[in-house]
Structure 1
Amino acid sequence: MTTTKDSKRGVAIPAHTVPFPSSISVEARTALERLVGEDGSVLNAAFVTPGPDDHEGWLRMKAAVGGQYANALKGLAGRTQSTVETIATGAATVHVATPVALKASNGAYIDFHGGALVFGGGEACRTGAQMQADQHGVLCYGVDYRMPPEHPFPAAVEDGVSAYRHALERHGPENIVVGGRSAGGNIAVATLLKARDEGLPLPAGLVLLSPQVDLTESGDSFATHQLIDVVLPGSLRSSNLLYANGADLTQPYVSPLFADLTGFPPTFLQSGTRDLFLSNTVRMHRALRRAGVPAELHVFEAMPHGGFGGATPEDRELQQEIVRFVEHRWAD
């Protein structure tokens, strides 16, 4: 007798409350509690995105989220020390931040911002470049890549390659480290794939912070961490389809997890045990290892997507680990 496996079959879990653990700092626990109502509901869970074909709806949402980003950035006013200049290279906009004091005379960090492949550009990207320049003490190129609905795939990847070529004209590849967080991790990896395919030398290192490298959302944590991740409680399917614009979601430049990663530079990967993208990160780590790439995986206790907000001991420890990795890449 032949049986057919039911793709919906799995482990039934009784309804219960998942407590915040005592194994994290008081500051981290407080950061998590702020995002949950008195009844235990995740405050971000009611966030509804337009359908992938509702371009007007996405434009309205981009404007609203842009306002939220602007308000959040006010808290950073006066904290960044680096100067910044905005340039154009091809169709790409790049914010070039210069620190007050250079740690590595010819070092460069190329930064790809997050934001679900739709948000996070403009002033947020510009400020992010300054923060990275301050953190690493080198010139930082913040890539303000084009995004949908106006500019779907492959515009962002094309901008990434254009910015990378610009950096290569000014720095040796051994002096460049590329980094991306969340959606920016997708664009960072896709940029290096395309750069490699075009015969360009790859950089000295790669930093991927909870990277959105699988737009099919096929990993285990997309089921197990729904509503457990209080920052990113559910699927980004709609924005993924908007970004892909009809392209196959398993295409390597769209979902770099499925690429041949041979020849990639040493890579630092980070996630948390409550991160919706935990599966993205651990699967990317294994894919890099299978390709023979030296790769570090750092998973933080109870950390949701994007960290605890930047002001906790765990966030500071993560930043120290990133700085260590990057400085070591320039030292080799």
Structure 2
Amino acid sequence: MLLDPAIRNWVLIPIMLVMVLVGIVRHYVTVLLNGTPKKADLKSARETKALQRAAILRAHGSHLPEQAFQARKSYLSEAFEKGTYLKDPIGSNKPKGNLMSDPAYVETMMDGMKKNIMNIVPQTVIMGWINFFFSGFVLIQLPFPLTIRFKSMLQRGIETQDMDVTWVSSLSWYFLNLFGLQSVFTLILGSGHAADAMRDMQAMSTMGMGAAAGPQMGPTGQPQDMHKIFLGEKENLDLAEHEWGLDDVETRLLVKYGKKPRSVLVDKRTKALAAASASAAGASSSTPPAALAATAAARSKKARRQV
């Protein structure tokens, strides 16, 4: 099959140029809509950073000595229980009012909707333009073979089963440019540009609610109850166990570099397990079974870490 060279000059290249120009214009319009960046709320940032601090402590507590770990753990658990880091400690248990009466929430939601409209409208207009003027056009043939599974992706708008899968229709060329021009936009506009096709797809699926949801918003766009989140994080901290990462580090280094046999660590592990079992068996009968099990599990875990 031969293609008319006019298709290249009047269909293929114009579609690509229009999409590049529209992406550049949309980027600058989005920058104008953003306006002056707002200052971050100190109390809201403190809530988020407190949760991050607890998560970092649970994940990397092995780099701290046990005394330092327990001190941080006790401090954060007490602060979460008392609501020290809450934005509004007094009104944390009060029922939430109507969100639409909150000017900050309404302003955030409107900003998100304006940005999403700037992402959706240009792509909708371009797709309608291509469907109206270039419906059924075959624009280009790919220079490499493909399997039949790519036919539905590369030949949208062309109802035929006999055409080779390497031919590309006008509508498929639009989608290829939509996701393939990101490197061109990065080269022209720099990193962090607003001409992002993935943002368009997310905007079409969320229709403005996703962008309006800030760090304090849930999946449905409703504010989260930070007091309950803090209590949940307190439970996670209470269950966290400390494992000092430098236990027997000298012996482990000597074993690693072949200065001592590996059986040294195995013997230490066996002795540690025996000591944990003996201490659990010889504990007072007044000690709760759950506490005994937790102590034995912690000692066994530390012993296994030494190997």
TM exceeding 0.5: no
More strand by share: 1
**As a proportion of its length, which structure holds more helix?**
2
Q: Which has the higher contact order (CA 8 A, sep 6+)?
A: 2
Max Rg structure: 2
Quickly name the TM-score band, shorter chain normalised.
Answer: under 0.3
Q: Normalization by structure 1: what TM-score?
A: 0.18
